[in-house]
Amino acid sequence: MMDYFFSGPGLAFTRLVIYLVAFLAFVGLNAAYLVLAERKGAGWFQRRPGPNEVGPAGLLQPIVDGVKLIVKQTIVPPGTDGLLFRLAPAIMLVPAFMCLATIPYAESVYGRNINVGLLMVFSFGSIGVFAIMLGGWASRNKYAVISAARIVSQNIAYEIPMLLVVITMLMVTGTMNLQEIVGQQAGGFWHWNIIKGIWTLTNPLMPVTFIIFFICMLAETNRAPFDMAEAESELIAGAFTEYAGFSWGLFFMGEYANIVVSCSVGTILFLGGWQSPIGVLSGGAWGLLWFFAKMYLLIFIVIWIRWTFPRTQFYGLLNLSWKILIPVSLFTLMLTGALLKLPLLLRHIF
């Protein structure tokens, strides 16, 4: 009987179960402990201790918060669109799960090695916006509707430079398989895409491309200073105003899961994924360590930015995308294309 689960079609089933359990735990724990990290980080930046009462050094705080959210009543206010209102939190969380399935955490730790992994991440990543839009719309709350309208224009504005950056990366790497993209960056930090472009002359503006990616990532995940959808001093809690209990908790989890996905993609595309920065100490568990070190460093920067900067103006946010990010990312795209094809052209002429 046991053999069935470790061979043939049974193996796929076992993998699926392991994947589901592991990723549910991964997303849940990440969301819970990133909240704690965020609050601790905020405390650190603001010269106060942060949560430190529940458990040793406040480590049980997220568990208690999770239990609190689960046992709270999920209120569906009268007048709301019941179906969409209940559906929106799930739409927020599920695409993030799908994205995580394709991410290679180490050489042999991944959910699915898909040839179009990059495409899948970005197609599922774009669904998250629907959740906020539908949640805001279904709430029948004026603040929530304003927030829904904002999130749509913000996401349209930032998908474009984000995808232009991704196309640039695609031209450099030549593959959509995330595992292969990481494989190309082996052998020390100077082989990472963010630096490699400079000395191989494929795209000397690669650091700029990374910054554009990072800014777009902040905007896509609704993080400060671009947290227009949840601008608490303007729109109370934006699209989440009417949500209570765990349906609100799911939005929260989705937000953090999206941050994990975005930072993972950033790590894979630009920072060498699970490759060691010094060439040695790579492979196996080291890969996992390097990957998470890089990913959590990016997440730390995200938290750092949130607690340092004020929120941008809404039209300033759109201007930044349409007037600066899109032209610059188009330019890097064209530059990369030209530089990639230049050797061929020269060989053809001479």
Query: What is the DSSP code string of 107-157?
Result: SS--S---TTHHHHHHHHHTTHHHHHHHHHHHHT-HHHHHHHHHHHHHHHH
Instruction: Tell which one of 72, 311, 326, 335 touches another protein (CB under 8 A).
Output: 311
Instruction: Tell which one of 314, 330, 337, 340 touches another protein (CB under 8 A).
Output: 314
Q: How far is the CB of 306 from another protein (least distance, A)?
A: 8
Tokens for 246, please give them: 């765990």
Q: How far is the CB of 68 from another protein (least distance, A)?
A: 22
Q: How far is the CB of 314 from another protein (least distance, A)?
A: 6
- Decide whether 211 or 340 has the Cβ nearer to another protein: 211
Q: How far is the CB of 2 from another protein (least distance, A)?
A: 54
- Decide whether 176 or 237 has the Cβ nearer to another protein: 237
Dihedral sign for Cα 101, 102, 104, 108, please. Answer: positive
Q: How far is the CB of 300 from another protein (least distance, A)?
A: 16
- Residue 300 interacts with another protein (CB under 8 A): yes or no: no
Q: Buried b vs exposed e over 198-233: b needs ≥16 C-beta within 10 Å?
A: eeeebbebbeebbebbbbbbbbbbbbbbbbbbbbee
Instruction: Tell which one of 7, 108, 115, 308 touches another protein (CB under 8 A).
Output: 308
Dihedral sign for Cα 298, 92, 29, 14, please. Answer: negative
The site map against another protein for 118-157 (x = CB under 8 A) is ------------------------xx--x--xx-------
Which spans in 221-284 are helix H?
232-235, 245-270
* Cis previous bond, 277, omega within 30: no
Phi, psi of 315 (to 5 degrees): -75, -25
Instruction: Tell which one of 114, 190, 234, 244 touches another protein (CB under 8 A).
Output: 234
Tokens for 278, please give them: 């010094």
- Residue 312 interacts with another protein (CB under 8 A): yes or no: yes
Angle at 65 between CA 63 and CA 66, to 5 degrees: 65
- Residue 73 interacts with another protein (CB under 8 A): yes or no: no
Query: Which residues, 160 to 179, sit near another protein by CB under 8 A?
Result: none
Query: Which residues, 11 to 70, sit near another protein by CB under 8 A?
Result: 42, 45-48
Binding site for another protein (CB under 8 A): 42, 45-48, 142-143, 146, 149-150, 224-225, 227, 231-234, 236, 306-316
